[in-house]
Amino acid sequence: MSEKPARPVLITGASGALGRQVTAALGARGWDLVLTDILDFPDKVPASARFVRADLGDGVAVLRLAEGCGTILHFGGISTEHPFETVLGPNIRGIYHIYEAARREKARVLFASSNHAIGFHERGETLDADCQLLPDTYYGLSKAYGEMMGRMYWFKHGVENVNVRIGSSFPEPKNARMLSTWLAYSDLVELCVRATLAEKTGTCVIWGASANTRTFWRSDARAALGWLPRESSDSFAAQVGGIVSDDPVEERYQGGGYCSFDYTRKEPAPRDIF
């Protein structure tokens, strides 16, 4: 019988691609789950779970959902680039509601951050988790903000948080860039398990990628959580290694196409940013 958390786990964004994977896996382990999303849950709700449709912009609803929960796996919000006004409610106001609920319940937060919080780092760089935040979009900026909010709530209120900078979590890598950024669903699920069951996490950052040889990233807090990714993009190299764009901005930076989206610079940015 696998270990279960002492208190229920709230999963936001449960109806999204990653929320569904995590819900199915944790439901199969019999974990007591509270699921929420702004959209209906498309799958069969696991026997140990209940689903409540809610908007992250509704602070009272979020407080109610989190009642009694010990962990919040926060996958909710906008998950790709959109205009600032669209990102603002779900991702900026929404993360505040999540942290207020976590503070009240003395719950831990796993925040589904993104590589787009650091997207304007060059692909030739190998980054540590404490690298400079260089968001590539309003979406990436909201993820950087969410990470910073986690730090603030840890130092001010003792709210523990694990900030997972997810690379590209899909069934398989789709192009050459994803040979560096791919995160297998099974590795994501195991990370959620470890982050929930770890005795303590403080505030930490994890690179959300499988054990890919071509990685852009190194050194994070995984050892403290006891998380070790088991999958790797390496076996897909022959299949997708040749899939690159003809856009120099997309190919230059770790964030790929998010960097070239709505890009108005005429000359390439200098390498030295100071």
**Least distance from C-beta 111 to ligand 15L, angstroms?**
13
Binding of ligand 15L at residue 180 (CB under 6 A)? no
**Least distance from C-beta 115 to ligand 15L, angstroms?**
5
Q: Which of 64, 67, 80, 86 binds ligand 15L (CB under 6 A)?
A: 80
Distance between CA 129 and CA 221 in Å, rounded? 8
CB-nearer residue toward ligand 15L: 80 or 235:
80
Residue 139: active-site member: yes
Cα angle vertex 164, ends 263, 84, to 5°?
35
Q: Which of 138, 139, 185, 258 is catalytic?
A: 139
**Total of residues contacting ligand 15L (CB under 6 A):** 8
Type of residue at 38: I
Q: Given the structure tokens 């998010």, which residue do they identify?
A: 258
Q: Which residues contact 29 (CB under 8 A, 6 or more apart)?
A: 2, 4, 193
Binding of ligand 15L at residue 116 (CB under 6 A)? yes
Binding of ligand 15L at residue 79 (CB under 6 A)? yes
Closest residue to ligand 15L, based on beta-carbon distance: 168
DSSP secondary structure code for residue 253 in this structure:
B
Binding of ligand 15L at residue 114 (CB under 6 A)? yes
CB-nearer residue toward ligand 15L: 71 or 114:
114
User: Are 56 and 90 within 8 A, CB to CB?
Assistant: yes
Distance between CA 241 and CA 222 in Å, rounded? 28
**Least distance from C-beta 174 to ligand 15L, angstroms?**
8
Cα angle vertex 41, ends 40, 45, to 5°?
140
Binding of ligand 15L at residue 168 (CB under 6 A)? yes
**Least distance from C-beta 9 to ligand 15L, angstroms?**
21
Binding of ligand 15L at residue 181 (CB under 6 A)? yes
CB-nearer residue toward ligand 15L: 15 or 114:
114
Residues that bind ligand 15L (CB under 6 A): 79-80, 114-116, 166, 168, 181
What positions carry a catalytic annotation?
139
